[in-house]
Structure 1
């Protein structure tokens, strides 16, 4: 299928203000796609944008200095302990994380320079991660030329998605992000799931947004419209990191596009593009895995050093008993003797490694981006979740028969060996994952191509053509409550009129 594309190179401002390395990595895939189309991209993010060679000719970037370093060095930054948080507290914690991010990032030199630049430099479109840091909405109000907005959410089906696109949250279909359920099935689960969504909605509108409103106004230096109004009026296209093959499908308006797998999709490089892949020693190690290889990677937030040396020792002991080879993303120097079948690295190029023919399984934390990479490659998973959407993702993977669940609280040599042996020798996991992968990848338009098209479309048609009127209706209007009340009272009046008039006529 051919797509209509813009005939000129666009000037694009891309903002990645979420203090999450995984969000930055996800955004880099989108940036590379835009650069391959010849567009000019300026990105301000939490990390340096590592794009080299010819592809970087139209790229400029700035970094919110030291934000991630400050986060990771803080005393309360310990994702491995967040596993203990309740669903309700995790919802609060998520919004507090967004508030803290706004407080930290808006004070950086890069944020101040961004504020001045957006007043004086006109961009064709602003592409922004709208997951949590709504304090940057104020930039849209003061941007020169008022460019259209494309918002993206690597977080997947966020509970507050309805505020971006209109309509309900569909709590009877989609599990609340922080709840450890695959799908609300019975009355008990649907009730709790609905309460979670109600709690989240109240917290967002009566705690998070008012707090961030003050931070946004402090950042831009004057009062601005309420953030929920800016959010409702300004976003032309919403790109969400979901797909019905994995997430429960819900009705979506035309301006809301599912682009899950954007980070995993193979792409054709341009001439003279610098393509980075894993090192030669990793290739040799995996080539020698005649009995198969297991990749262990807990994403960008979970650190083994916070999990503890006792757990690491348990893992090493279990892995030493396997005949498979293991490539382990371990963020600390090995405190124990490492067996010959184990190779550790501080960083793993996961998408590329999962493409190796000998990789048969991946032990992951259940983060959405890692999950999607495993699904795209058709690699079954051992999933050990800690916090936020990881618990829900883990349950979905287990329910679909493509993953084995490992509980960090009961992690032992026996549970590890059982999980590895089950995932390697029970062929149903690989068979089910291959089927899920086929469903996930089979689309009219690949996700990265769709995302790029949507940005170009927004520039060609900046008036929000695809936005549904539902976005501007209240819940009372959306659910016809006012109509039902009106009809109810009219029926009552008609019945009462007929009742009282009947005796007189007789």
Structure 2
């Protein structure tokens, strides 16, 4: 009996299995984690998955084939000093560095021998899942493989995700992802938000021209980027109202924030013992995969250690070296920690983080309060948003020293409101009709079943920006009113002129 059921399930899955290509050329590990988690789940559910990326799996996985895009990770490592530079200044600082990085990685992908081999192999794909990060030319693979594309917006529901599908994002109440503004912005903040949004649109237009040139460099009769928008079926946004301010969504923007977070597993034996035996609890400190702690100025490293030495808690510090000078006894360093499993341990009291979106979501998933030290990019908006939600304290890197860190640690470790608010937000993230992963898988399979799901697209994504904003209509109305006013004025002047002439003639007579 059971053998028949198993055979039935096998053949149903086999019959419905699809060929799925994951294209994650960007060497940001946090971006890759999202793609890998979703593709592995699709492979578990019987689909045949091919993943092209700089991060091949260390161990084989059923139904999952790796294509190693060599040279891309090495290029990013050579540029890693840019991340510290981006900490200084306003929202546009570092944009050129990021653009150069993504342009170089896009070109390396378009020109990669492994991608050429894949194209020549004649392999057919039912859908392509890509990392969406200022890389418009990558949409060409939808055309080359004749397959719909699903971009995953690792940064959440920002302008990068919105414009590709025409999703509205009024700057009056939706802050730009690079700005530390609350949704209820002041007049000055709304003005700055509007100007920065315009500036990013200008940068986006310039970047689009660069990617168009890339297409024309590598492909004959290359289509325009506007034409390639037709390959985009929907966007999976790494967003959710539990950590993003509420905002509108068109049908083909699907919020799946938190789909990468798994149930915490038991830690390796030594770490499990370390955390279990922490009488006062544990503080976990990590600056993520791009920004490394070893890149901090040595003086700041020592100031941080002095502050840690003052607290009774044990500290886990993700430190990318074997040694750390003057390390106190309550600090344990390692080049890598199983972050999700640490955040899920009941003895963890605080997460000190750069505020990357994945780390912020993981902390929220497990109900852990945050001490945020934003370095660059959306981190400078994620942490203020967490502060306004009541589960975080913010500390600027420029202000980080023994005194400020000690004060921040004392505030968040002794005031129960941060823990309480983290738990409340965690409940919001968990209180959904379907898990984020089930939602993501459903919509991928929906696109496959409905051959690209053209019924989800809205016409706003095809309109030029001036039509989308109704500027052409506004200009017509203004010109029409000016013409009407001009004609009325002309008629009045003529009438007045005739009356004056008549009166003058009557006087003379």
Q: Same fold (TM over 0.5)?
A: yes
Matched with 1:216 is: 215
Matched with 2:272 is: 283
Contact 2:25–2:72 (Cα < 8 Å) also in 1: no
Contact 1:398–1:405 (Cα < 8 Å) also in 2: yes
Q: Which has the higher contact order (CA 8 A, sep 6+)?
A: 1
Asked if residue 122 in structure 1 is aligned to residue 119 in structure 2, the reply is no
Asked if residue 390 in structure 1 is aligned to residue 379 in structure 2, the reply is yes
Matched with 1:86 is: 90
Contact 2:126–2:448 (Cα < 8 Å) also in 1: yes
Distance 1:480 1:205, change over 3 A: closer
- The one-character-per-residue Cα deviations of 1:329-374 (angstroms, maximum 9, x if unpaired) are 1111223243332211111111111111100110000000000000
- The one-character-per-residue Cα deviations of 1:97-146 (angstroms, maximum 9, x if unpaired) are 221222334344333334434xx111111111122222222222221xx1
Matched with 1:243 is: 240
Please say which structure displays the higher CA radius of gyration.
2
Deviation at 1:440, TM superposition (A): 2.0
Helix, strand or coil for the counterpart of 2:51? strand
Contact 2:259–2:437 (Cα < 8 Å) also in 1: yes
- Distance (whole Å) between structure 1 residues aligned to residue 288 and residue 350 of structure 2: 15
Distance 1:487 1:325, change over 3 A: same
- The one-character-per-residue Cα deviations of 1:441-492 (angstroms, maximum 9, x if unpaired) are 2112211111111110001112411111222233444344455556667778
Deviation at 1:437, TM superposition (A): 1.2
Matched with 1:379 is: 368
- Distance (whole Å) between structure 1 residues aligned to residue 136 and residue 487 of structure 2: 53
Of residues 254, 271, 280, the one that matches 2:251 is: 254
Q: What is the correspondence of 1:353-502 to structure 2 with a 5 Å cutoff?
A: 353-461=342-450, 462-483=452-473
Of residues 216, 227, 230, the one that matches 2:228 is: 230
Q: What is the correspondence of 1:34-433 to structure 2 with a 5 Å cutoff?
A: 34-50=42-58, 52=60, 56-74=61-79, 77-117=81-121, 120-143=122-145, 146-183=146-183, 185-206=185-206, 208-219=207-218, 221-231=219-229, 233-266=230-263, 278-433=267-422
Contact 1:265–1:376 (Cα < 8 Å) also in 2: no
Structure 2: which 5+ runs fail to align?
A: 1-12, 496-509
Between 279-288 and 85-94, report the one with greater CA deviation: 85-94
- Distance (whole Å) between structure 1 residues aligned to residue 153 and residue 17 of structure 2: 25
Deviation at 1:94, TM superposition (A): 2.9
- Distance (whole Å) between structure 1 residues aligned to residue 428 and residue 283 of structure 2: 24
Deviation at 1:24, TM superposition (A): 0.9
- Distance (whole Å) between structure 2 residues aligned to residue 487 and residue 384 of structure 1: 49
Q: How many residues align?
A: 482
Matched with 2:6 is: none
- Distance (whole Å) between structure 1 residues aligned to residue 167 and residue 358 of structure 2: 26
Helix, strand or coil for the counterpart of 2:65? strand
Helix, strand or coil for the counterpart of 1:212? helix
Contact 1:242–1:260 (Cα < 8 Å) also in 2: yes
TM-score norm. by structure 2 comes to 0.88
Between 89-98 and 312-321, report the one with greater CA deviation: 89-98
Matched with 1:21 is: 29
Of residues 8, 15, 19, the one that matches 1:11 is: 19
- Distance (whole Å) between structure 1 residues aligned to residue 92 and residue 85 of structure 2: 16
- Distance (whole Å) between structure 2 residues aligned to residue 415 and residue 487 of structure 1: 56
Contact 2:351–2:363 (Cα < 8 Å) also in 1: yes
* Structural RMSD (CA): 2.7
Deviation at 1:91, TM superposition (A): 3.3
Helix, strand or coil for the counterpart of 2:83? coil
Helix, strand or coil for the counterpart of 2:92? helix
